[in-house]
């Protein structure tokens, strides 16, 4: 977790920020981190970062367009050098809150960087949990839970949530059970699908979530959240069909379940998590093929080091994430080679 000194510093930055822009990762953890901080100061605009793995310089134009006086970066493991060069020219303060293990030597001195991985605690709880530490607004407890559960983490304050919202929880404390089988988990899935909508609908969703009072307002479909629910239903239908196909592949797999698909919907991370829930004993590899690239989501014990090893030497390949949950990109022509390398590494190491 963050230290008391770090919490105080971040709160001071938030109070100074009169018109901040919050750049956040394109998932439940990033979204809920933004919501907690924005609702805390009641100021600022949110910008979803869809580039992977870095926050690229293209997004800097949003700083000027929104006339921002402060930049907050949430749940992004990497920021391009060019982006920081643009920031330095306009002399705007930057606060970067993250929980990924990264090489910090390239972070400019003017950036206020906070990451518990580099504290004495050496923890890596979701950024949502860190932002809830900062804001400590009890009425936003449910948002903090949604963000943490969406990032496969059950926080200590989940016990408080269970007392306050017994109808939204289940008996199991397993994070995947909570995400897939409970009502608070359903909210996480709705928000995750909402982020995949067109920009105008994402902005509409953000405005709704910045003002909403209770989780029940999210669960109950109405005119204010109609687009979110519509997108969830649309994606969920496709998700269920792909899951059925993947389960068919699972019958013929042993230690590693490799599932490849294409189409107009990039949900490899969602499929990987769902398959991990269905087949906890297997290593899950889901590859979404689009154009000349394959977006890959991998789940399994200690898989990060194996994925990084498997992409070594592959042209333009990238990868990163957490110890047991990793994202990667490789050229389609290298996908079969990547699969063979990873399967070999898994069989050797586990």
Q: Which of 336, 338, 289, 276 is nearest to 311 (CA)?
A: 338
Answer whether residue 188 shows pLDDT above 90.
yes
**Contacts for 132 with CB less than 8 Å, ≥ 6 apart:** 36, 140, 141, 144, 155, 157
pLDDT bracket for residue 246 (50, 70, 90): very high
- Specify the pLDDT at position 321: 86
The burial class, CB within 10 Å (0-12 / 13-18 / 19+), for 112 is middle
Neighbours of 297 (CB within 10 A): 25
pTM over 0.85: yes
- Pairing type for strands 325-331 and 20-25 reads unpaired
Domain 4-230 has CATH 3.90.1640.30: yes
Query: Tens digit of pLDDT for each residue in 147-182?
Result: 999 999 999 999 999 999 999 999 999 999 999 999
pLDDT bracket for residue 260 (50, 70, 90): very high
Distance CA 328, CA 312 (A): 12
Query: Tens digit of pLDDT for each residue in 58-109?
Result: 999 999 999 999 999 999 999 999 999 999 999 999 999 999 999 999 999 9
Q: How is residue 116 written in tokens? A: 């518990």
Q: How is residue 207 written in tokens? A: 């405005």
Distance CA 322, CA 27 (A): 14
Distance CA 83, CA 63 (A): 11
Query: Tens digit of pLDDT for each residue in 21-47?
Result: 999 999 999 999 999 999 999 999 999
Its CATH architecture, for the domain 253-349, is Roll (3.10)
Distance CA 70, CA 89 (A): 14
**Secondary structure letter of residue 237 according to DSSP:** H
- Specify the pLDDT at position 115: 98
- Specify the pLDDT at position 239: 97
- Specify the pLDDT at position 42: 98
pLDDT bracket for residue 201 (50, 70, 90): very high
| Peptide bond preceding 53 in cis form (omega within 30 of 0) | yes
Distance CA 342, CA 307 (A): 6
Beta bridge partners, 284, equal: 257, 299
**DSSP per residue over 112-168, as a string?**
EEE-GGGSTT-----HHHHHHHHH--GGGHHHHHHHHHHTT---TTHHHHHHH-GGG
Cα of 32 vs its chain's centroid, Å? 9
Provide the residue ranges of all domains of the chain, joining segments of one domain with +. Answer: 4-230, 253-349
């Amino acid at each position: 977790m963050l230290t008391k000194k770090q919490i105080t510093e971040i709160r001071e930055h938030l109070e100074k920020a009169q018109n901040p822009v919050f750049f956040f990762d394109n998932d439940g953890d990033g979204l809920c981190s933004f919501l907690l901080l924005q609702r805390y100061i009641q100021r600022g605009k949110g910008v979803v970062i869809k580039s992977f793995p870095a926050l690229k310089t293209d997004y800097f134009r949003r700083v000027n367009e929104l006339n921002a006086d402060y930049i907050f970066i949430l749940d992004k493991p990497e920021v391009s050098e060019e982006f920081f060069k643009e920031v330095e020219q306009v002399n705007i303060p930057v606060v970067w809150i993250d929980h990924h293990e990264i090489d910090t030597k390239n972070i400019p001195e003017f950036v206020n960087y906070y990451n518990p991985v580099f504290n004495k605690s050496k923890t890596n709880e979701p950024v949502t949990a860190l932002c809830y530490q900062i804001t400590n607004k009890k009425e936003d407890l449910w948002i903090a839970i949604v963000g943490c559960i969406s990032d496969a983490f059950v926080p200590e304050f989940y016990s408080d949530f269970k007392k306050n919202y017994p109808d939204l929880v289940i008996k199991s404390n397993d994070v995947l059970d909570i995400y897939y089988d409970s009502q608070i988990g359903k909210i996480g899935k709705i928000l995750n699908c909402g982020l995949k909508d067109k920009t105008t609908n994402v902005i509409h969703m953000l405005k709704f979530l910045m003002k909403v009072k209770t989780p029940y307002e999210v669960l109950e479909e109405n005119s204010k959240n109609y687009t979110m629910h519509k997108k969830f239903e649309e994606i969920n239908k496709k998700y269920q069909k792909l899951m059925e196909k993947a389960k068919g592949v699972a019958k013929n797999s042993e230690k590693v379940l490799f599932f490849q698909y294409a189409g107009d919907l990039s949900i490899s991370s969602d499929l990987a998590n769902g398959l991990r829930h269905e087949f906890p004993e297997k290593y899950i590899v889901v590859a979404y093929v689009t154009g000349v690239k394959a977006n890959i989501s991998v789940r399994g014990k200690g898989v990060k080091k194996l994925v990084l090893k498997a992409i070594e030497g592959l042209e333009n390949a990238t990868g990163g994430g957490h110890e047991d949950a990793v994202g990667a990109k490789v050229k389609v022509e290298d996908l079969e080679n990547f699969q063979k390398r990873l399967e070999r590494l898994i069989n050797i190491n586990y």
